[in-house]
A and B are shown apart, each in its own frame.
Chain A
């Protein structure tokens, strides 16, 4: 580029209802305007291209998370809750907490829980097949993570719907202080207290993921004051994300009968089919970083303390990175997509997220010949998440 070329300025607003409902035309505009753009409505730098988004996420020294990973800059404005010790933290604190969480959620642990998670998936899909006509969200996508993940964390059965309200608030809080945020804050009311109570050890089954955090505190790896806030990360990030990941995968497959037929013919495609859904219809649409110092992206200067919006979902459809990016193809194996982030802040629960998606799609592939939509779907708007409210489906059994 010409070093004196000014950064393209756009009026695009990612948080209007129109853009939340259908973000792809806006993604195209931002992506084609340049490697980075200046979004005038919020005064932030944004990128919708894979190379730049990937570079920012992998440069945690220049682009920090400690000032928040939403639009709010915690250097100048208060955070709406005590900051996350992992999501909204930088090394060395992040390294310490991340080490504990990645051990608790490691691929080795996932191998141990696989059989339980698969059995639950098969039982749930069986119930859905018996019903025949289902709402893919309320009868399937929501039920499954709300069962298996809090079980693994070690929560009681009561009150788990609070996790949905809390997740909705946390992900709305990463956008502007708009009506969506105000409404979810209103709904959440007493839920925050419930969440904090259930981060305490006495509410967590011995041996579960939550209790293991306290064991790490007992061992001196983290402090006992840090433990409940790390349990909170399980409760805020572990359910809404996978619910929508599974919901979006059902949506993708229901709208691509040819791809579903391939999955039905070969259940081993379940894992890549889930992966491709993460790329094609990314659950976490956006995350921010904050420039720790004057630096640059693709040659464009970025001033210290500037918020940088990474449009993950747009990067995942960047034609510079993916051939036919707007097509959902379950055999693509899209390694390198950024739906789960990249670099040191890459989703720490990704092995479990993939397990959940895989076992649900495997159970469907074996038990269901065809998936048909029986009516229009509806969306639940959220400032960060791409979420469905309803997805009416008919499952045709084998």
Chain B
């Protein structure tokens, strides 16, 4: 059960535990984390679960596939090199301590 920390755009932090195998988006939705809308339900089709991955973690995650890269061009807030769709990050035991920031806008 890795711990994940979400940092909201106002700086407040929210930590939660989630089981291995679910996506960061599912972990957030399950815990009612504000700012992760995930309208399409996790199919990389809406860009409303956009997060900025903590720079220390970017290289430790499996890289995005082409469909995620294309959808990242549609984010409401600026796309940065650390941008990911949280529905496409599936939690593994190695992700214990993952930190992601939630953008101010998703739509």
Contacts and interface: CB of A to CB of B under 8 A. Distances in A.
A complexed with B: yes
B46 A350 contact: yes
A232 interface: no
A103 B70 contact: yes
Report the 5 A-B pairs with minimum CB-CB distance, sorted nearest first: A346-B43, A107-B74, A336-B41, A108-B74, A335-B38
A342 B46 contact: no
A340 B40 contact: yes
Interface in A347-389: 348, 350-351, 354
A330 to B, nearest CB: 15
B12 interface: no
B2 interface: no
Given A107-B47, A336-B29, A99 B70 contact: yes
Interface in B17-63: 29, 37-43, 45-47
Interface residues of A, number: 23
Given A275-B39, A346-B40, A102 B29 contact: no
Given A107-B47, A340-B40, 18 more contacts: A99-B66, A102-B67, A103-B70, A107-B46, A107-B74, A271-B107, A275-B39, A333-B37, A335-B29, A335-B37, A336-B38, A342-B43, A346-B41, A350-B40, A350-B45, A351-B45, A351-B46, A354-B39
B7 interface: no
A333 B106 CA distance: 14
29 contacts: A99-B66, A99-B70, A102-B70, A103-B70, A106-B70, A106-B71, A106-B73, A106-B74, A107-B47, A107-B74, A108-B73, A271-B107, A275-B39, A333-B37, A335-B29, A335-B37, A336-B41, A337-B41, A338-B41, A340-B40, A340-B41, A341-B43, A346-B40, A346-B41, A346-B43, A346-B45, A350-B46, A351-B45, A351-B46
A102 B42 contact: no
Nearest to B74: A107
A301 interface: no
A335 B106 CA distance: 14
A379 to B, nearest CB: 27
A341 B41 CA distance: 9
A87 to B, nearest CB: 15
B1 to A, nearest CB: 20
A108 B74 CA distance: 5
A189 interface: no
A271 B46 CA distance: 14
A103 B73 CA distance: 10
A343 interface: yes
Contacts of A344: 43
Interface in B53-105: 66-67, 70-71, 73-74
Contacts of B67: 99, 102
B100 to A, nearest CB: 18
A216 B71 CA distance: 18
Nearest to B49: A335
B32 to A, nearest CB: 10
Interface in A159-200: none
A348 B40 CA distance: 10
A122 to B, nearest CB: 20
A102 B43 contact: no
Given A108-B74, A335-B29, A102 B37 contact: no
A224 B22 CA distance: 41
Contacts of A343: 43
Contact of B42 (A106, A275, A342, A350): A342
Nearest to B73: A108
Contacts of B71: 106-107
